[in-house]
C-alpha cells in the first residue's frame, strides 16, 4: 500500500465513522471524538436540528471520492418529519433529499466540512414553500 493509499484509507475510515456513529446511530458524544474543536459545536448544533426534525433519518452514500485529506460524497437522505425543523412544525410527512458533502480530515479528525443540500426540495415536500413546476432544459436548447 502506498503512502497515498494509506492516507486515503484513514480519511475514508474517519468519514465512514462520522456517517455511521454520528448520523446513523445518532451518537452526539462521537462528535467531540471525530471533529476538530473548531467545528464540533457547529456540528453538534446541526446534529440536534436534523435529528429533532427527522429522528429516523437514513443516510445512504451514493458516491464517494477521495483526494488526499479531502473526502467528497453524494448522499441520499430519507426521514419522517416528526419534530420541528427549519421553523416548520411536524407534518408526519416522509421526505427524501440529496446532499453533497465534503470533509477535510487531519490527524484522524474532520477539521472542515462543507455541504450543498436540496433544501428547496425538502421545504417543498414539507409544505413550507410552493412547489415549482418543472423546467425541461432539453426543450429550451432545441431549435
All residues at 6 or more sequence positions from 35 whose CB lies less than 8 Å from its CB, including other chains: 18, 43, 109, 110, 111, 113
At 142, the pLDDT band (50, 70, 90 cuts) reads low
pLDDT band at 131 (very low <50, low <70, confident <90, very high): confident
For the stretch 9-30, pLDDT in tens is 899 999 999 999 999 999 999 9
* pLDDT score recorded for residue 133: 73
Distance CA 104, CA 85 (A): 27
pLDDT category at 139 given cuts 50, 70, 90 is: low
Give me the pLDDT at residue 77, please. 98
Q: Which fold has domain 3-141?
A: Nuclear Transport Factor 2; Chain: A, (3.10.450)
In the chain, where are the structural domains located?
Answer: 3-141
Tell me the pLDDT tens digit for each residue of 45-98: 999 999 999 999 999 999 999 999 999 999 999 999 999 999 999 999 999 999
Handedness of CA 76, 82, 86, 89 (dihedral sign): positive
Asked whether the predicted pLDDT for residue 143 surpasses 60, the reply is no
Mean pLDDT taken over the chain: 91
- Of the pLDDT bands very low, low, confident and very high (cuts 50, 70, 90), residue 132 is confident
Q: Are 62 and 75 in contact (CB under 8 A)?
A: yes
Residues 116-130: tens digit of each pLDDT? 999 999 999 999 998
Residue 8 is predicted with a pLDDT of 58
Q: Give the chain's count of helices (H) and strands (E).
A: 5, 4
Amino acid at each position: 500500500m502506498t503512502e497515498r493509499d494509506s492516507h486515503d484509507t484513514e480519511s475514508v475510515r474517519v468519514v465512514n465513522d462520522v456517517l455511521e456513529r454520528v448520523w446513523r446511530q445518532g451518537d452526539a458524544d462521537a462528535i467531540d471524538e471525530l471533529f476538530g474543536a473548531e467545528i464540533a459545536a457547529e456540528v453538534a448544533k446541526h446534529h440536534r436540528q436534523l435529528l429533532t426534525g427527522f429522528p429516523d433519518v437514513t443516510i445512504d452514500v451514493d458516491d464517494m471520492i477521495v483526494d488526499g485529506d479531502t473526502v467528497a460524497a453524494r448522499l441520499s437522505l430519507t426521514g419522517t418529519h416528526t419534530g420541528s425543523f427549519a421553523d416548520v412544525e411536524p407534518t408526519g410527512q416522509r421526505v427524501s433529499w440529496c446532499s453533497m458533502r465534503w470533509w477535510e480530515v487531519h490527524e484522524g479528525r474532520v477539521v472542515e466540512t462543507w455541504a450543498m443540500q436540496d433544501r428547496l426540495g425538502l421545504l417543498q415536500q414539507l409544505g413550507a414553500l410552493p412547489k415549482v413546476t418543472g423546467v425541461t432544459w432539453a426543450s429550451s436548447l432545441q431549435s
